[in-house]
Amino acid sequence: MDKLEHNIKNAFVESDVNTTFSGKEAMWQRLDASMNKRKSVAVWWKVAAVFLGFILAGSVFANFKIRAKHQQQMAEMQMQNTRLKQAVDSLLVTSRQKIKTETKVVEKIVYRDRIVAQETDSKNDFWHKKYQKLQDSTAVSLALQKRMYQDELDKMNDDLVAAKSELLAMQNQEKQEQVTTTEPFRLKGEQVKMEVQKKPTIKPSEMKLKIFPQSFSENKNNLNKTLFNK
Amino acid sequence: MKLQKIIHKSVKGDRRSQKQFFDLYANRLYAVAKRYAVNDELAEESLLLAFLKIFEKLPEFVFINEAALVGWLSRIVINQTLMDRRKELNTLYKLESIDEEHIEMLSDEEPDNTALVELVNQLPDGYKTVFMMYVVDGYAHKEIAETLGISENTSRSQFFKARKLLQKKLNYNYGQAGT
């Protein structure tokens, strides 16, 4: 630093020392007020920070609680879901079993030659089947009984026909016996001698074919003649 | 009351001690603020804000001696004063030439301290700030550049231009008195 700069520095230092600030008291008042304000602001911020801390802690706690509740709900839902799946599986199995039962019913349908409505999902399936079964068995027993009666009736009819024919034969015999006792004479049996068969001797000229059956008069053209005598 | 005790109590928040501290350095720091501010009102505003910062940062200060304390306080005041002018000064330093013709010529008499201060105060704003920071307040060019937000080279060039201008002015009036 040269002399000029040194002198300038000293001049300014001296000037600074001699400077008096007239508005010092007014500035201190402002400064005091500002510091108080800052202090109060700081206190307010502390309160706000504590409040925010509480809110934060509360939110974290609530978050944990909500998460736990949510997890519990999820677990319950999953359990319910599993239960439902099991129920669906069991229903699927039962429906398959029902189909097997229906197959049996179809066999009966073939036997009875009748179509039965298939109700797999009906709650009264058991009673319906039982009813069908009873109906089927009743029908079968009725048919059997009917056939038995028919057979018996046929047999009785045959017996009746046989009895009738026997009666008729007996009546005929009785009639014959009555005739023999009333006839004055009896015809002798006639014997016929059969000779050896001879070949017919027909002249070829006499062999005439007759295609047209009607007889032709002399005035009409004999079609048989014109056909063969050509 | 001893200065260290005043500082200690001020740090504790004792308002009386803070007032004592303020009374001790208000005049000197007002002079510093006035050097860098455009007018007295802005200097007062800057000083108020600087004192708020001083009381806020006082717990961090390690007391060695009063000179160090004054230097630390001055730097806070200078920084606070220049903070608002930073943009303005930055634009000013970007201009290539500064009108140097408005400097009034001094009389033929030997310049006293008041005249020297007046001469420096008459320098263009950009020159004056860098010159005072470097010469009066002992800033390095790197620190000036950081504080004003300009490059180190700009700070150097501004300083040399300011010195050249002062020398020219002093040579014109006082011969070789300034060299």
| Structure confidence at residue A65 (pLDDT) | 93
For chain B, say whether A25 makes contact (Cβ under 8 Å): no
Interface contacts (A, B; CB < 8 Å):
80
DSSP secondary structure of B22-79: HHHHHHHHHHHHHHHSSSHHHHHHHHHHHHHHHHHHGGGPPP--HHHHHHHHHHHHHH
CB contact under 8 A, B28 and A30: no
Kindly report, residue by residue over A172-218, the tens digit of the pLDDT: 998 888 877 665 555 666 666 677 776 666 665 556 666 777 777 77
pTM of the model: 0.51
Taking CA–CA distances from B44, the nearest residue in chain A reads A27
Partner-chain contact A16 B120, CB within 8 Å: no
Residue B177 confidence (pLDDT): 46
Cβ-proximal residues to B155 (8 Å cutoff; 6+ apart), any chain: B130, B134, B141, B144, B145, B148
10-residue mean pLDDT profile of chain A (230 residues): values are 80 84 88 81 84 94 93 93 89 66 56 58 75 91 94 94 93 85 62 69 62 73 68
Q: Does residue A9 belong to the interface with chain B, where contact is any CB pair within 8 Å?
A: yes
- Cβ-Cβ contacts under 8 Å, B132 against chain A: 12
pLDDT of residue B109: 56
Q: What is the pLDDT along chain B (179 residues), one digit of tens a residue?
A: 588 889 888 888 888 999 999 998 999 899 999 888 888 888 898 999 999 999 988 888 888 888 889 889 999 999 999 887 776 776 666 654 555 554 444 445 567 778 888 888 888 888 888 998 999 888 999 998 888 888 889 889 989 988 888 888 876 555 544 44
CB atoms within 10 A of CB B149: 14
Contact assignment for B51 to A31 by CB distance below 8 Å: yes
Residue among A5, A10, A19 whose CB faces B113 most closely: A10
